[in-house]
Structure 1
Amino acid sequence: MKVSEFIQHNLLLIFTILAIVLGLVAGIVCRLFGPSSDTVQLVQFPGELFLCMLKMLVLPLIVSSIITGLGNITGSCAGRICALSMVYTACTSLVATLIGLTSVLTIQPGKYSKSSTNRLSQNDAMASAKDVVFDLLRNIVPDNIVAATIQHASTVLVKEERMESGGSSSYMKEDSSMEVNGTNSSIVAKKTVMVDGTNILGVLTYCIVFGVMLSQLGHRGSAVTQFFTGINIVTLKMIKLVMWFSPLGIMSLIMGQMMLSDIMETGQTISIYIATELAGLAVHSLVVLPALHFVLTRHNPYTVYIKSLPALLTAFATSSSAAALPVTMQCVEERLHIDRRISRVILPVGATVNMDGAAIYAVIAPVFIAQYNGINLSLGDVITISSTAFLSSIGIASVPGVGFAMLMLVLQTVGLPDRGLALLVTIDWLLDRFSTTVNVASDCLVVGVVSRYTNLPPRDPSPAQPMLENDLV
């Protein structure tokens, strides 16, 4: 009887584990037959639909969860929750950066390649680091909250052609093929543009301030709170429906990826690199974070991991903290019994800000590239890499493959060459999954720490409250 009850309560988890195993085995077997690109695309299509469904629900989930969570908190607890979570996540991200730096400098995976190149100039390093900070601040305070749902600010390098003739010069378009009594030269200028992709930081900032202000209205804001509570209920019910499609989507994603990649061909250098990053992730997630959690809460942190297993498996399969957010919220609220007013504020924020795994990757990869190219980094270079990795890990989009975009940003900041990136591309899909799993594990621990130091008052029995109590029914 106990076995049947366990299966009944963990049916989706069992299906998810089976989907991962079947995806790995089927992907390896199908690769032996040399599948075409069309076949791989067909295999991955259910997984693509699964990711699209989750991404569709992430924005309304984040907005309604934060506003509902903060709006139902009275007194000064709303600001306390936000402050505690931000301080804790900033500390863990900083520790993650230092762990990654220690791992790569100790193991030195890039030293196993006999490559060398000339040292590049570092003149633009500080300017690029400044751009990272400025872009971060621009995205925190967007000038259009509606546009922030589809675009975010980014500083890019624009190459322009200039024709020089005598003492004068004139600018030309890159596709211009005319040259009259002069020579062409190109200049590179920085420009802040709006690029596609949700400005999660801007949306979070607006929702947090809105929720805090709403909590101070008391009964006068009950109608607004009830409106967003209704949105939250509907969104969560839609997510529960989507999650029953997750085993098929997860199996599709893993199977398609296994059909495309072959880790056995990467050689000794990349194998040691994989071991280096996995060592950093393991030390951070299995030693540092649990120790910090135990010291602050006096509770067993590994129990949190066990009860959050469905969220961790979803994070590994989808390689996206945002895609795993619905499952994470469900595990934290139903399995760990954390107050929903806390979890619905911290978890949406943590899915964007708390990127410990990404911080480890962003500091290990560029140092590996430097070692691979025979570049000796100075203390200033190491500090620049670490600070840029830490800053870029805050507010980065929680979608698959974003870690590689972070790497390109750090390489540009320090002025490192891109030689050796091809090696990292071959295993980025795998390491990104482990990094995302660490991100979600850290989110689950953050909720427990903040809950331990936050004494929430009883829920205000406003008209919105009955809906909040039964929102997961």
Structure 2
Amino acid sequence: MTENKSNNLTKRIVIGMIAGILTGFLLKLLMPQGTDFVIPLYFFDFSFRSFFVDGIFEIGGQIFVASLKMLVVPLVFVSLVCGTCSLNDTAKLGRIGGKAIGLYLITTAVAITGAITLALLVSPGEGVNMVSDTAFVSKEAPSLAQVIIQMFPSNPFTAFAQGNMLQVIVFALLFGIATALAGQAGERIAELFVDLNEVIMRLVTILMNLAPYGVFCLLAKLFTDISIDTISNLIAYFMVVLAVLFMHALITYPIVLKLLTGLNPITFLKKMRDTVIFAFSTASSNATLPVTLETTTKKMGADNSIASFTVPLGATINMDGTAIMQGVATVFIAQVFNVDLTISDFLMVILTATLASIGTAGVPGVGLIMLAMVLNQVGLPVEGIALIIGVDRLLDMTRTAVNVTGDSMVTMVVAKSEGHLNEDIFNDPNAGQKIEDIDFHKMRD
């Protein structure tokens, strides 16, 4: 059921993307170099630019962008509280939880750093020279001490109202940990946040169901005035993101696994095959949870007491693929709009995206909402998302495959360090073959 809905949404977004691009090119032919196409009517002159480009497409696109921004604060706060509430065992919070969270955050920081580095080397957005409706004002770089001090809110409600995401993230982490340690009162609060999370996820679903129309409006307006050369920049962006995703999954994870456990990375990657395919098809870490758990326990030999903790935690806080997209997209959009980001800005992107990965829910499309947050954090125009939204669905599927690979790798490392890994099962190529008999459709319903 979920796969059919996912595929249907993908088709609709692709149709909206293609229709928007074709409509934009058609209007560009009618109105070259920013001119207007006017049809004289009996009572008035009908202007294509006023009615379509500056009217329907502008309104529809801006409403969609505003909806993305609207969900940022509630999504991050509620998801983060739910994620940290799951650490209700103080022993696990202190030992297993610390190991898992540390590894997840480190790999995320490595992922976005690599993404920004490659994007700066390739420069996929150079030469576009677009102009934003929002003027970029360069900021004086704060000191490291000031950055750390400003991460802690004196008034969390002010942080919510102003969209100061670092402060929201820190408050959510502290609130979630306190909730996890508050006994029965905390359990009642945790149940409330689980329900709130379901409501927020429903809002995300509603927004993503409207995404094809938002994509159409954004791209139709964009391609009315865009130059042909920009297409090559978009392809360059796509390839840079894809390259970093593959490098992270096939180089970073295997190296970390080998260094920290001594296990064979080739065996690990082979046993991840079914899980990766499933994650790619659903574009959802949460939907892939049953398959990831089955793979890490039955195929790889991790004890269920470890995997049942680290895998759901990873589906909540480990979003390396999303961080990679955010890093490349930030550089791409900055180059497109001719904005020179400082070292301080890049460090802020790394810090924000790493911490925000904890609050990025494992459902399709959430990465775009988180990208809006990162762009806001460094003052870049959120409308730049229109440039990449058309190709984001395929990248979203690939990002999910990378995320679940990271979840499984960290599970292996933690299980090995705790003495709860059966290496005979890990090295057995036939272990857990019954996973292939799982009815995926039932698990997705």
Pick the TM interval, shorter chain. 0.5 to 0.7
The equivalent of 1:442 in structure 2 is 406
The reply on whether 1:146 has 2:191 as its aligned counterpart is: yes
Q: Structure 2: where are the runs of 5+ without partners? A: 20-78, 151-163, 180-185, 203-207, 220-227, 423-436, 439-445
Between the aligned residues of both structures, percent identity stands at: 32
1:150 CA drift (Å): 2.1
Answer whether contact 2:87 2:97 (CA < 8 A) is retained: no
Answer whether contact 1:80 1:454 (CA < 8 A) is retained: no
C-alpha separation in 2, matches of 1:368 and 1:78? 38
Answer whether contact 2:303 2:421 (CA < 8 A) is retained: no
Q: Which has the higher helix share?
A: 2
C-alpha separation in 2, matches of 1:79 and 1:131? 23
SS at match of 1:110: coil
Q: Deviations over 1:194-249 (max 9, x none)?
A: 97349xxxxxxxxxxxxxxxxxxxxxxxxxxxxxxxxxxxxxxxxxxxxxxxxxxx
For 1:279, give the aligned amino acid: A
1:416 CA drift (Å): 1.0
Q: Deviations over 1:316-372 (max 9, x none)?
A: 111111110011111111111221111111111111111111111222212211111
SS at match of 1:115: coil
The equivalent of 2:170 in structure 1 is 133
Q: Measured at CA, do residues 452 and 113 of structure 1 come closer, stay the same or move farther in structure 2, by a change above 3 Å?
A: same
The reply on whether 1:278 has 2:255 as its aligned counterpart is: no
C-alpha separation in 1, matches of 2:104 and 2:316? 11
The equivalent of 1:411 in structure 2 is 375
State TM-score, norm by structure 2: 0.60
Q: 1:196 aligns with which of 191, 196, 200?
A: 200
The equivalent of 2:268 in structure 1 is 304
Q: Deviations over 1:89-145 (max 9, x none)?
A: 121111112111111111111114133565325489977233343344345545622
Q: Which has the higher strand share?
A: 1
Answer whether contact 1:301 1:445 (CA < 8 A) is retained: no
C-alpha separation in 2, matches of 1:397 and 1:274? 23
Runs of 4+ in structure 1 off by over 6 angstroms are 123-127
C-alpha separation in 1, matches of 2:271 and 2:265? 10
Q: Measured at CA, do residues 138 and 405 of structure 1 come closer, stay the same or move farther in structure 2, by a change above 3 Å?
A: farther
Q: Deviations over 1:159-205 (max 9, x none)?
A: xxxxxxxxxxxxxxxxxxxxxxxxxxxxxxxxxxx97349xxxxxxx
C-alpha separation in 2, matches of 1:419 and 1:451? 44
The equivalent of 2:125 in structure 1 is 110
C-alpha separation in 2, matches of 1:140 and 1:114? 45
The equivalent of 1:454 in structure 2 is 418
Q: Deviations over 1:42-73 (max 9, x none)?
A: xxxxxxxxxxxxxxxxx9xx99xx799x79xx
TM alignment of 1:149-164, pairs within 5 A: 149-151=194-196
C-alpha separation in 2, matches of 1:432 and 1:377? 26
Answer whether contact 1:77 1:454 (CA < 8 A) is retained: no
Q: Structure 1: where are the runs of 5+ without partners? A: 1-15, 36-58, 153-193, 199-252, 459-471
1:384 CA drift (Å): 1.3
Answer whether contact 2:108 2:320 (CA < 8 A) is retained: yes
Q: Measured at CA, do residues 100 and 137 of structure 1 come closer, stay the same or move farther in structure 2, by a change above 3 Å?
A: farther
How many residues in Structure 1 have an aligned counterpart in Structure 2?
A: 306
The equivalent of 2:64 in structure 1 is none
SS at match of 2:126: helix
- The structure with more radius of gyration: 1
The equivalent of 1:366 in structure 2 is 330
Q: Deviations over 1:374-410 (max 9, x none)?
A: 0011111111111111111113211111100110111
Q: Measured at CA, do residues 433 and 363 of structure 1 come closer, stay the same or move farther in structure 2, by a change above 3 Å?
A: same
Answer whether contact 1:369 1:419 (CA < 8 A) is retained: no
Q: Name the Cα RMSD after superposition.
A: 4.1
State TM-score, norm by structure 1: 0.56
TM alignment of 1:70-81, pairs within 5 A: 79-81=94-96
1:452 CA drift (Å): 1.4
